[in-house]
Amino acid sequence: MDNQTISPRQFMFLVILFTVGSSILIVPGPLAAQAKQDAWLSITISILIGLLLILFYDRMTNLMEGKTFVQATIMVFGNWFGRFLLFFYLSFLFILGALVLRNIGDFMTTEIIPATPLQFTHILFLIVVIWGAYLGLEVMGRSAEMFMPWVLILLVFFTITLTPQIKAENLQPFLGEGVVPVLSTSTLVIGTPLLEMVTFLMIFPYVKEAKAKAKRKAWLLGIFIGGMILTLITLLCLLVLGSDLTALNTFPSYKLAQKINIAGFLEGLEIVIGIIWMLTIFFKMVIIYYAVTVGVAQFLTIDDHRPLLLPLGMGMIVLSIIAYPDVAYFETFFAETWFPYALTNGFLLPVFVWIGLLIKSKRNKKQQALPSQL
């Protein structure tokens, strides 16, 4: 296994890009469909819960002794039961990667290159992802550091150019549908992307920093900034398009970009804004794919994850195509099924492993204390 490391700053950028990821495309529509004009409030509540989730993950990593989630689970529960638990964890990451890949394909074939076969889009994009995972975590961290300023610049441009079209009355009445829809739809953002942060339990041990506080700060700040970006995009969708039009569009943020009109002659800039989404989705995909390949390699006790990149990629392409028949099916799956599935693998399973880590840690302390007493 490669021993590459990244800095807390690079880790923070990876968390931001992962948080924005595909959520910038698929989250605003379902939120607006249920919470209407208060969809932005659902994201705000979700981010607060997400920060608590990250604090739990951070406490867990303190007990993992510099090991990844796969290594720590096998260490606590042994080879057989540990691998039984990890089968569900790695399956979750693999399915997540396939769904994100399908999100990319649906977006490209629906909005940008409709005449291109879906399979070709998946293969072409995954080749780049495989190459990124092959180069390793250190290259991924440096790339995130390089591209993050461009993402922020494009977001600022996106916001400024849409400001003249903002209609504040689109957010009224505040809590017009009541509190219940806001709370219920917050589970959508908790499921995607917050519970998916369990992926970083495969990467966190490679963050080079002596102080645990610096790593925790990077993770929390990454979630907060990424969440604010999602809140901003959702707010812009509501303020410019309104809640009804946002809910009707599969990719409302792309529809929002088509509204850009500078001085009545500079139009058609949505492809420039599309660069934001392609960058964020790429980084989310490469992080998931790297975590999957490293996790499977450690599961199989293989020293190097690189030989697994191509065969796992072929399987992921097949799964991404057969995962769901159309976008409408995915929207139903995303709204009804994904949250309990993500909750099981992103929270309940880590809690179970965390309890095992606590018990093992206490036993080790007792064993170390016995010789001193004797």
- Is the per-residue pLDDT at 146 higher than 90? yes
d(CA 163, CA 170): 14
d(CA 206, CA 240): 42
Query: C-alpha angle 363/369/371, rounded to 5°?
Result: 120
Q: How many residues does the chain have?
A: 374
**Cβ pair 238, 29 in contact under 8 A:** no
pTM metric for this prediction: 0.94
Q: Is the dihedral of CA 331, 28, 156, 289 positive or negative?
A: negative
Match 């208060």 to its residue by tokens.
38
Half-sphere exposure of residue 95: CA atoms within 13 angstroms, side-chain side:
14
Tens-digit pLDDT profile for residues 207-266: 987 688 889 999 999 999 999 999 999 999 999 999 899 988 888 888 888 887 776 666
| pLDDT at residue 370, as a whole number | 62
- Is the per-residue pLDDT at 292 higher than 60? yes
Domain ranges of the chain: 8-357
- Is the per-residue pLDDT at 1 higher than 60? no
Summary mean pLDDT of the chain: 89
**Cβ pair 43, 35 in contact under 8 A:** no
Q: Radius of gyration of the chain from Cα atoms?
A: 21
How many C-beta atoms surround the C-beta of residue 300 within 10 A?
Answer: 10
Residue 196: closest CA among 282, 110, 89: 89
Tens-digit pLDDT profile for residues 180-204: 888 899 999 999 899 999 999 999 9
**Cβ pair 250, 21 in contact under 8 A:** no
Q: Is the dihedral of CA 57, 101, 339, 24 positive or negative?
A: positive
Query: C-alpha angle 359/360/363, rounded to 5°?
Result: 90
Q: Does domain 8-357 have CATH number 3.40.50.10710?
A: no
| pLDDT at residue 176, as a whole number | 81
The lowest-confidence range among 81-90, 166-175, 345-354 is 166-175
Q: How confident is the model at residue 76 (pLDDT cuts 50, 70, 90)?
A: very high
What percentage of the chain reaches a pLDDT higher than 70? 95
**Cβ pair 98, 321 in contact under 8 A:** no
Phi first, then psi: give them for residue 136, nearest 5 degrees.
Answer: 105, 175
What separation, in Å, do the N-terminal and C-terminal C-alpha atoms of the chain show? 41
Q: For residue 102, what are its two tokens?
A: 């399908």
**Cβ pair 237, 246 in contact under 8 A:** yes
Q: How confident is the model at residue 325 (pLDDT cuts 50, 70, 90)?
A: confident
Q: For residue 322, what are its two tokens?
A: 């057969």
Match 């989730």 to its residue by tokens.
53
Task: Give the mean model confidence (pLDDT) for residues 292-304.
Answer: 94
Task: Give the mean model confidence (pLDDT) for residues 5-31.
Answer: 91
| pLDDT at residue 339, as a whole number | 94
- Is the per-residue pLDDT at 336 higher than 90? no
| pLDDT at residue 212, as a whole number | 81
| pLDDT at residue 261, as a whole number | 73
How far is the CA of 286 from the CAs of 193, 272, 364, in angstroms? 15, 22, 37
DSSP codes, 234-300: HHHHHHHH-HHHHHH-SSHHHHHHTT--BTTTB---HHHHHHHHHHHHHHHHHHHHHHHHHHHHHHT
Q: Is the dihedral of CA 230, 236, 238, 244 positive or negative?
A: negative
Quick one: residue 66, left, alpha or beta (phi over 0 = left, psi -120 to 50 = alpha)?
Answer: left
